[in-house]
Chain A
Amino acid sequence: MTSIEPVILLSAVLFTIGAVGVLTRRNALMIFMSVELMLNAANLAFVAFAQQWGNLDGQLFVFFVMAVAAAEVAVGLALIVAIFRTKHSTDVDELSQLRG
């Protein structure tokens, strides 16, 4: 690849789709997957920029993002499972007791 702009644009597209997904979905799992898409987009940008600058920092950052994402997923899904046990639903709109 001689130019990374297309890659960054692609990452912007994916990031936006992820963000819209968070806003339009009402299933906690779907929201969460959309967030993963956003992180994925950010990773793509990191790798592209690493290529542009010719250093490894970007790739290393991606490495950490992935590890952190794994931890986040473990906790997040556990949370969704726990709520499902109480509420028998993964619909976040039904979780709106706290408000005002």
Chain B
Amino acid sequence: MSTLVVLPILFPLIGVVINAFLGKRLGEKVVGALATLMCSAAFVVALMLFSQVSVSKEHAIHAEFGTWIGVGKLNVPFGFLVDSLSSALMLIITGVGALIHLYSIGYIHGDPRANRYFVYLNLFVASMLVLVMGSNYLLMFVGWELVGLCSYLLIGFWFDKVKNAEAARKAFVVNRIGDVGFILGIMLIFVTFGTLNYHDIFAVVGDHKTAALALAGDPVAPAVLSAITLLLFIGAMGKSAQLPLFVWLPDAMAGPTPASALIHAATMVTAGIYMIVRSNALFHVAADTSNFVALIGALTAFIAGSIALRQFDIKKVLAYSTVSQLGFMIAAAGLGAYTASIFHLMTHAFFKALLFLAAGSVIHGMEHYSHAHHSAQHIDPQDMRNMGGLRGKMPVTFWAFIIGGLSLAGLPPFSGFWSKDEIIVAALHNPLVFALLACTAVFTAFYTGRQLVMVFFGSARSKDASHAEESGMAMKLPLIVLSVLALIGGGLNLPGSMWLEHWLEPVVGVHEGGFNLPIAALFSALALVALAAAWVMYRDGKRDTSLTPQLSSVSSFLNKAWQIDALYRAAIIMPFYALSSFLARVFDLGGIDGAVNGIGTLTKGIAAALRPLQSGFVRSYGLVMIVGVVALMAWLVINTR
């Protein structure tokens, strides 16, 4: 049984090794097939493990493969823990992963670096599995860093463009800022608990049902727990793109679209949510941190959602939407609704992966014309202003996008509806968070509608759009499978059965969440209204479609639009547009993004300014030494008793 546990990690690693060393000889086709096969094999094993977990008595399989770091008190084993939480996530990672591998065969076809791409993808799957399967925090950190590395490699995959290499570096560095918190949190955990194994730590913290914290007369100070959870959360902020560290994720879309789907939508970015849910015992007793987490999550959801309203790049919309949805999950985790959080994580994995793959299919279709005609005039194939009317040309993509979009918008019976609803219900007792999430839900529906209309309806706004063609079978098949999943994914935790909640109970405890019919009805209606508004506003294909948007178009719009539309616009949309533009500016150009870059520039500036100190003169070096000697001696004289 224990050997079975490593197999999901081992399979993709085998793929990595074979493809890395023999890739050139095997050829692109074989490499792609092998990578997909390995990921599928991992999926099959994950299924087997899942079934074993469900029948095992303590709902968990432990496996240890010797010690990794063992010195003194510190004993970190290569230990793996497959319980209800990790087995569920393993299924997502390997399942969605396998579909995306399959899709990639079509997508990456013809790229000179295709072999490398599949190596990275397999490596990512293995690392992500290490992240969720590790039985201690340090192993989680290993996976955490490795997925970051894969993300870096994939964002910078087309490094010929300077922009991409920069986006990759930004992602890596911002993530490492978060990692500072995470690794310090881990160290503090070790100092506090003397171990890094989940099992032992959570045993000390006590049963998650009781908030009281006293074990064998050695209570852990609440302040220490707050510090630990806060540090861990900083890690989650980085990886799961929360305020203020989310700036890297929109840029990360520079990578190949399937990689974005897998890493920057479905799996890696949810690592922060996994970490919080995994540490629910700690977060549960650290109420301050949890409130903070909920607030940050809700704020992130709101801000990213509003920024998404005004994006034109098809992937950027999805990227901000991902940040926003991650905010939902984080907020849910902060609210203690761990099941809802994981539920949304899973449905989001389905529908967002679907949306990304569909978007990739659109981009692929858009590129078709210029590829075929070597057209000198190069338009941006990702700009929605160049699209329109693709509905007829790419029917499978269209329907997939519709399903994903409606799921994202939160329309029943699509999967997103059920999970989002649970989160909103959980937020009922926290007015501020509730208000933010409610607004975001409306935004979500609106920008989704806007995207659908701009891409698929109306008439083609460019030659590329009018000559777009549907993608091949390897790309369509995953779309279909994911569509089905997005459609029925809500079944995981339908009111009444509450299967997921029971399944996760051994890990997160019981949470009396549930279905609230009035809320569900209200939000369904709101989503419908927002979608309708988007339809009305963008149907004619004139709004926002100019590549050089002008304010004067406002007046022309006013003449034609319905009165209710104008009212809607004046009362709601305009302020939000303003807000959206403002936030986009703050966060994307000047603000935090600028701050991150600014700090980088500043440090470099300081470094450059300091360089003359290293003057090359021996005597100056001696002088610096003497300064040190005098300071050191003064310190010692003053501070020695």
Contacts and interface: CB of A to CB of B under 8 A. Distances in A.
Q: Select the residue from A24, A25, A98, A99 with max chain B CB neighbours within 10 A.
A: A99
A98 B615 CA distance: 8
B611 A26 contact: no
B622 interface: yes
Contact of A24 (B611, B618, B619): B619
Chain A residues touching B, range? 10 to 19
A57 interface: no
Contact of B626 (A23, A25, A26, A95): A23
A95 B618 contact: yes
A37 interface: no
B586 interface: no
Contacts of B616: 95-100
A92 interface: yes
A72 interface: no
Nearest to A34: B622
Contacts of A100: 611-612, 614, 616
Interface string B12-45: 0000000000000000000000000000000000
Contact of A26 (B612, B614, B615, B619): B619
B623 A93 contact: no
A82 B623 CA distance: 26
Nearest to A98: B616
B interface SS class: helix
Interface string B605-641: 0000001101111110011001000000000000000
Interface in A1-51: 19, 22-26, 31
B611 A92 contact: no
Interface string A84-100: 00000000110111111
A46 to B, nearest CB: 19
Contacts of B617: 92-93, 96
A95 to B, nearest CB: 7
B615 A31 contact: no
A99 B615 contact: yes
B611 A23 contact: no
Nearest to B623: A23
A22 B615 CA distance: 17
B620 to A, nearest CB: 9
Contacts of A24: 619
Contacts of A25: 619
A76 to B, nearest CB: 13
Please indicate which of the listed interface residues B611, B616, B623, B626 has the most CB atoms of chain A within 10 Å of its own CB. B616
Interface string A57-100: 00000000000000000000000000000000000110111111
Contacts of B626: 19, 23
B614 A23 contact: no
B302 to A, nearest CB: 48
Given A19-B626, A23-B623, A23-B626, A92 B614 contact: no
B95 to A, nearest CB: 54
Interface string B121-144: 000000000000000000000000
A24 B619 CA distance: 7
Contacts of A26: 619
A73 B622 CA distance: 19
Contact of B622 (A23, A95, A97, A99): A23
A92 B619 contact: yes
B622 A22 contact: yes
Contacts of B614: 99-100
Considering residues A23, A26, A95, A97, which has the most beta carbons from chain B within 10 angstroms of its beta carbon? Answer: A23
A22 B616 CA distance: 16
Contacts of A23: 619, 622-623, 626
Nearest to A25: B619
B295 to A, nearest CB: 47
A26 B618 CA distance: 9
Contacts of A97: 616
Contacts of A93: 617-619
- Pick from B611, B615, B619, B623 the residue with the most CB of A within 10 Å: B619
Interface in B507-535: none
Contacts of B618: 31, 92-93, 95-96
A95 B612 CA distance: 16
A23 B617 CA distance: 11
A79 B259 CA distance: 59
Interface of B: 611-612, 614-619, 622-623, 626
Interface of A: 19, 22-26, 31, 92-93, 95-100
Closest 4 CB pairs of A and B: A99-B616, A96-B616, A92-B618, A100-B611
Given A92-B617, A93-B618, 10 more contacts: A22-B619, A22-B622, A23-B619, A23-B622, A31-B618, A31-B619, A93-B617, A96-B616, A100-B611, A100-B616
27 contacts: A19-B626, A22-B622, A23-B619, A23-B623, A23-B626, A25-B619, A26-B619, A31-B618, A31-B619, A92-B617, A92-B618, A92-B619, A93-B617, A93-B618, A95-B616, A95-B618, A96-B617, A96-B618, A97-B616, A98-B616, A99-B614, A99-B615, A99-B616, A100-B611, A100-B612, A100-B614, A100-B616
